[in-house]
Amino acid sequence: MIFAKKYIFMRILLVFVLSLFSINAMAQDTKAQGILDKLSTKMKGMKSFYIEFNATVKNTTTGANESAVGKGWVKGNKFYASYGDNTMICNGVKSWTIVKDEKSVYESDASSDDEESINPKRLMTIWETGFKNKYDREDKLNGDAVHVINLYPKVPAKAEYHTIVLYISKANNELVKASMKAKDGTTMTYVVTKFTANPEIDDTKFVFDKKKYPGYPVIKD
């Protein structure tokens, strides 16, 4: 298992591959669950979506302060995501993480991706599996009213983060921001800058072509 580098990249890359259609959150807050249920219903009604986001990774202890722009195309259980110079492709059966700095490709079964990995699909449905939730407050984000909901892992010992904070637009019931607070003091924040429901996406978008990455070894889990 190529854990460290792949794991760090996948957390940052946004992948949020868990089921889009199963709602298993352990609700502790009726208001929070009601909002998340409506958001899940909205996401379930989409055959595909396209997302653009800004991501930052900060840790005041280590001095880490990085940012990058990402994009993601999702269709059913398939997705294609880019984060900086790196790429993740999933055809629903296999997933490939292409890390440019390492000139390597990491291949794994789509069903074996761990719950810590963050892809565009999981980002937009992360509340559905493995979390307790609690409504925090109503707030303003860039002048727009948002619901702020906290998620807590149901099994904290197995999670790398202790809290995920979701910001959900009151006006259009869409996720606009998510912050993941890791146990090591790192905070990863994703701000959605564009979201398009049901775009036409050709299935060739989700095909991994090794010929496009000459000299990149494919390392299998």
- What residue spans define the domains of the chain? 4-195
Dihedral of CA 156/159/163/164: which sign?
Answer: negative
Phi first, then psi: give them for residue 119, nearest 5 degrees.
-120, 170
Q: Is residue 202 classed exposed, middle or buried when 0-12, 13-18 and 19+ CB atoms within 10 A define those classes?
A: exposed
Q: Mean pLDDT in each 10-residue stretch from start to end of the chain (221 residues)? A: 40 37 47 90 87 90 89 89 88 92 91 49 60 93 95 85 92 91 91 94 96 94 79
Dist. CA 34–CA 25, nearest whole Å: 12
Q: How far apart are the first and last CA of the chain?
A: 5
pLDDT at 186: 92
Q: Which helix (H) or strand (E) is 5 found in, with range?
A: helix 4-13
pLDDT at 159: 80
Dist. CA 97–CA 17, nearest whole Å: 13
The two three-digit tokens of residue 208, written as one number? 């991994």
DSSP codes of every residue in 171-187: TT--EEEEEEEETTS-E
pLDDT at 83: 84
For residue 50, the cross-strand partners are 73, 196
CATH of domain 4-195: 2.50.20.10
Dist. CA 125–CA 121, nearest whole Å: 6
Dist. CA 151–CA 140, nearest whole Å: 19
Predicted model pTM = 0.79
Q: Is residue 124 classed exposed, middle or buried when 0-12, 13-18 and 19+ CB atoms within 10 A define those classes?
A: buried
Q: Is residue 206 classed exposed, middle or buried when 0-12, 13-18 and 19+ CB atoms within 10 A define those classes?
A: buried
